Chains A and B, each alone.
Chain A
Amino acid sequence: GQQVMQIPQYQHVQEGEDFTTYCNSSTTLSNIQWYKQRPGGHPVFLIQLVKSGEVKKQKRLTFQFGEAKKNSSLHITATQTTDVGTYFCVPQGGSEKLVFGKGTKLTVNP
């Protein structure tokens, strides 16, 4: 399956601070999906990025896909306690497989 590195593995912020998680691949990706899993819950789809250099926004969340389609990022502006959870990037190359990693676990101190 597609191998990517997602960093950081853990991030603790104060409410109101910004947060960014990064995914890096050694090979060119077809597309990348992002999911969020709340504590005790199941992963929920957030967005899919397909085009080189694509930037998409969902309220305080900004998703980017690199020009070379080898990296992606999720940025949250002014975190809130509702942002707590684990964020996963799920890359797709030539395979149909959707392989998750350990994600980035975000905790927010109120």
Chain B
Amino acid sequence: DAGVIQSPRHEVTEMGQEVTLRCKPISGHDYLFWYRQTMMRGLELLIYFNNNVPIDDSGMPEDRFSAKMPNASFSTLKIQPSEPRDSAVYFCASSAGAREKLFFGSGTQLSVL
């Protein structure tokens, strides 16, 4: 298995633009998590899905952020409009079940100018 795949690896955009981050979890994994990492706030959980259904989105910063999982092999995290404070590394992770270990993707480094 190729592991969790995220794209793009790097994204540079201007304030106000829409940003879409993509994630392909490991095949067969039921859980998918989106995290954001900054020096100031550490690794924050944004949202997680179980069987493609969003279970907890309490970590999503505001309405500018949205996440979808249309099927078991694909998820997106969208920021519209983007702001400089959204600059961070965004990680996607998947697991085979509740309380199972997480497998992380390589992350997307987002810079909003």
Q: Interface on A for B, CB 8 Å cutoff?
A: 1, 30-31, 33, 35, 41-45, 48, 88, 92, 95-103
B19 within 8 A of A: no
Return 27 A-B CB contacts under 8 Å, by A number. Answer: A30-B99, A35-B102, A42-B104, A42-B106, A42-B107, A43-B91, A43-B93, A43-B104, A45-B103, A48-B101, A88-B43, A95-B56, A96-B31, A96-B48, A96-B98, A98-B33, A98-B95, A99-B45, A100-B35, A100-B42, A100-B43, A100-B44, A100-B45, A101-B42, A102-B43, A103-B42, A103-B43
CA distance A97 to B56 in the complex (A): 8
> With a CB–CB cut-off of 8 A, which chain A residues contact B93?
43
B105 within 8 A of A: yes
> With a CB–CB cut-off of 8 A, which chain B residues contact A92?
99
Specify the main secondary structure of chain A where it touches its partner: loop
> With a CB–CB cut-off of 8 A, which chain B residues contact A35?
102
A49 smallest CB distance to B (angstroms): 12
